[in-house]
Amino acid sequence: MEAAVTTCYRHPSYETYVSCTRCERFICPNCMREAAVGHHCVECVKEGQRSIRQARTVFGGAVPRSAVPIVTYVLMGLNILAYLGELVRPGIVDRFAMTGAGLTGPDGIPYVYVSGGIPGLDVIGVVDGEWYRLLTGAFLHMPPGESTFGSLPFGVLHIGFNLYALWNLGRVVEEQLGRVRYLALYLLSALGGSVLVYLIAPFDSVVGASGAVFGLAASFYVINRRLGRDMQAVNRFLAGFLLWMVISAGFTSWEGHLGGLLTGAVVTVVYAYAPAQRRAPVQAALCVVVLAVLVLLVVLKSSALAG
């Protein structure tokens, strides 16, 4: 009497006599996965991976299987694409820059903002409900011919410095915080920088990722302090950023730098010292609180400007 033919449970047309050592279902070579003893099928391997608790950092971020800082790459790419868009269509800067309150005429010439507006002039900016400017301005940079720094156009230095800082800081912060927390930190820092600009200098038009970058600098400082690392080099690094804030105050927005720095510090402190038992919910809730505070400040400032 001939033995019954056995086939792979996933590929019935494939004759096989090897079975999974866990579930004992027959599997073909395409479905075999090497194990300490024998072979496992694809489904048993997936089930085993789900049962293994994923390693996490002190801040709750999942330890990445790949060392590639994907979010940092994406953010750098968005800044570069936005800059190329400015070169092709310079009007993008006026349309999406962080402008708190302004007036423009039919010819596009800006005027000094007056509460309530002036007949024949259009009110623009966050005060007129253009809230998107709070974030879009953080992905734009000063055009090449806008001003000069020595013999070089400052627009090129502007985006060059920010991309360099984002590359060096972003990789470290993303690795420790994980992709979701890192992205939330970046966007909240960018928003915090724009909000402080709106509160202190609402009539200025500001562009640049500097607010978000300063938020990453503050995060880098808090991360190293939380991990108990040698702070001498970190202190010198942060002092350099603060010095740059003072030096650049004449041609960039120190308000945006300071707002991003403070917001990044607050968010990372929340990440670092949230209780381990309910870390993720607490971190998410407090980030929502930070966002709500920033939104409230914008609403109150808009009310004051409009009134």
Q: How many Å apart are CA 54 and CA 217, to the nearest integer?
A: 28
Residue length of the chain: 307
Question: What pTM value is reported for the model?
Answer: 0.79
DSSP type of residue 53:
P
Q: So where are the chain's domains? A: 1-52, 70-306
Query: Residue 141: is its pLDDT beyond 80?
Result: yes
* Partners of 149 in beta bridges: 152
Please check whether residue 168 is in contact with residue 158, taking contact to mean a CB–CB distance below 8 angstroms. Answer: no
DSSP letters along 190-225, please? HHHHHHHHHHH-TT-EE--SHHHHHHHHHHHHHHHH
CA 250 vs. chain centroid, Å, equals 27
Query: What does the pLDDT look like over 160-183, one tens digit per residue?
Result: 889 999 998 999 999 889 899 999
Instruction: Between 64 and 153, name the one with better pLDDT.
Output: 64
Query: What does the pLDDT look like over 71-109, one tens digit per residue?
Result: 999 999 999 999 999 889 988 988 899 988 888 877 777
Instruction: Between 267 and 251, name the one with better pLDDT.
Output: 267
Residue 148 confidence class, pLDDT cut points 50, 70, 90 = very low
* Partners of 256 in beta bridges: none
Residue 211 confidence class, pLDDT cut points 50, 70, 90 = very high
* Distinct helix (H) and strand (E) counts, the chain: 10, 9
* Token pair in block for residue 3: 């033995």
The DSSP H or E segment spanning 134 is helix 133-136
Residue 198 confidence class, pLDDT cut points 50, 70, 90 = very high
The beta-carbon contacts of 118-127 under 8 Å, at least 24 apart in sequence, are: 124/99, 125/99, 125/100, 125/101, 125/202, 126/98, 126/99, 126/100, 126/101, 126/198, 126/202, 126/298, 126/302, 127/100, 127/101, 127/202, 127/302, 127/305, 127/306
| Mean pLDDT rounded to a whole number for the chain | 85
Please check whether residue 171 is in contact with residue 270, taking contact to mean a CB–CB distance below 8 angstroms. Answer: no
CATH of the domain spanning 70-306, picked from 1.20.1540.10, 3.40.50.2300, 1.10.3720.10, 3.40.190.80: 1.20.1540.10
Determine what percent of the chain is predicted with pLDDT higher than 70: 89
Query: Residue 298: is its pLDDT beyond 90?
Result: yes
